[in-house]
Chains A and B, each alone.
Chain A
Amino acid sequence: MWTLFHKFGSPPWLYRLSGSILRWLLPLTLLALVAGAVWGLLFTPPDFRQGNSYRIIYIHVPAAVVALAGYYVMAIAGAISLIWRMKMADVAMRATAPVGAALTFVALVTGSIWGKPTWGTWWVWDARITSMLILLFLYLGVIALYEAYENKALAAKACAVLSLVGTVNIPIIYKSVDWWYSLHQPASIKFTGGTTIDPSMLYPLLWMIVAFYALFTCCLLLNMRAEILERESRTAWVRRLAAGE
């Protein structure tokens, strides 16, 4: 197990591994996204109260779920970077931030578009929406903090501490609709107990959540590969790669 852990610290090994994963995961993900979108938009019944406008759930919920999970990926990479001083953990942390920020942004924008026809407002400062906005700023903060340092080791340390502090926000976002009075309704899919969403609508939603996890993985690996090449641009293996050998 420890040898595998140390292998992840090797840039050429990680570069090759991610390349062979992406070769099949990337087309599969795009296919799953298209299939899930078609399923959700065309082959599900309308909702009894919201009609067709609820269909934005097939983008909104997966983006939000993966944005939250992605934060833990970033924070765990940050913890590994702090404890083991592993450069590839820095790379993973740095690569997660823009993907997470984009997903959070998508969740906020689709939520806003959904809110206008259902609630009657684009934006309201309730606990769920505000804590989600804080998540966006945490992701953007990690990107900005990393860029603010010349020294990459120092930058990784600062970003790791920021992302660890920010983990507090994740359970707050998740439980905000239960702890406080909010306009946002409570979760329809719960870890414990039943769901309050009809199976004919639930299965395409679960499909889309899995597809978004795959999309997150693809974006993360692509980002990591770019960062690895940039960091290792002076090494022999990257020069050989660039020369096409």
Chain B
Amino acid sequence: MHPVRRQRLFLVLFIVLVSTVAISLVAYALRGNINLFYPPVEVAQGKAPVGQKIRVGGMVVEGSVQRSADSLEVRFEVTDYEATVPVVYTGILPDLFDEGQGAVAAGKLDEQGVLQASEVLAKHDENYMPPEVAEALEASKQRRMEAGQ
């Protein structure tokens, strides 16, 4: 390779390397802010600010969803299987919101550690399958559990 071109090649590699290092450092410094939500364990450890608007995300605990009989108020708990945060929300939940599924709730933590949510988003996972396959998987899981007992 011609020496001038080789020098330009090094310049190209230098540009890519330096910008990668610079942006990695910025991303590392801002890592807490890049996260969209706090997992419940960080809320339990007191890392999430009280009285400020935050987001908490995790799985909705099975059997924890309680709907009010006379209003749109709904109570549920989100967990990351290490800690659990209770959530109160008044409004319409997204279609995919369900027990045992992911959800992100935005709101303020009160003194009792309950998240007074102003917005609840459903978080779906990366699995896609036809309903029949899902039913077959569920049935085989049931059979395995019965065989285990």
The residues of A with any CB-CB pair to B shorter than 8 Å are 45-50, 54, 57, 79, 82-84, 117-121, 124-127, 161, 164-165, 167-169, 172, 179-183, 185-188, 196-198, 200-201
Given A120-B120, A187-B126, A198-B129; 16 other pairs, CB 8 A cutoff: A118-B94, A119-B94, A120-B121, A120-B122, A121-B119, A127-B36, A161-B15, A165-B16, A168-B24, A180-B34, A180-B36, A185-B123, A185-B124, A188-B126, A188-B128, A196-B126
**How many cross-chain pairs have Cβ atoms below 8 Å apart between A and B?**
126
> Known contacts A118-B122, A119-B123, A120-B121: does B96 contact A49 (CB below 8 Å)?
yes
Secondary structure class of chain A's binding surface, majority of residues: loop
Which of chain A's residues has its CB closest to B21's CB? Answer: A168
Q: Give, as a whole number of angstroms, the nearest-CB distance from A162 to chain B.
A: 10
B107 on the A face (CB < 8 A): no
User: How many angstroms between the C-alpha atoms of A181 and B58 in the bound complex?
Assistant: 10
Which one of A45, A48, A54, A188 has the greatest number of beta carbons of chain B within 10 Å?
A: A48
- The verdict on B85 contacting chain A, using a C-beta distance below 8 Å, is no
Residue of B nearest to A171 (CB): B20
> Is the Cβ of B123 less than 8 Å from the Cβ of A196?
no
Residues of B within 8 A of A (CB): 5, 8-9, 11-12, 15-16, 19-20, 23-24, 27, 31, 34-39, 57, 93-97, 101, 104, 119-135
A198 to B131 CA separation, bound complex (whole angstroms): 11
Asked, given contacts A121-B121, A164-B15, whether A185 binds B35 with beta carbons under 8 Å apart, the answer is: no
User: Which residues of B have CB within 8 Å of A185?
Assistant: 123-126
Closest CB of chain B to A175's CB: distance in Å?
Answer: 11
Q: Out of A50, A120, A161, which one reaches B97, CB within 8 Å? A: A120
Q: Which residue of A lies closest to B38 (CB)?
A: A181
Q: List the A residue with the shortest CB-CB distance to B31.
A: A180
Residue of B nearest to A197 (CB): B128
Residue pairs across A and B with Cβ atoms less than 8 A apart, 9 shown, are: A161-B15, A180-B35, A181-B37, A183-B123, A185-B126, A197-B129, A198-B133, A200-B130, A201-B130
Q: How far is the CA of A169 from the CA of B121 in the complex (A)?
A: 27
Decide: A198 and B130 in contact? CB cutoff 8 A. Answer: yes
Are A45 and B96 CB-contacts (below 8 A) given A164-B19, A168-B23?
no
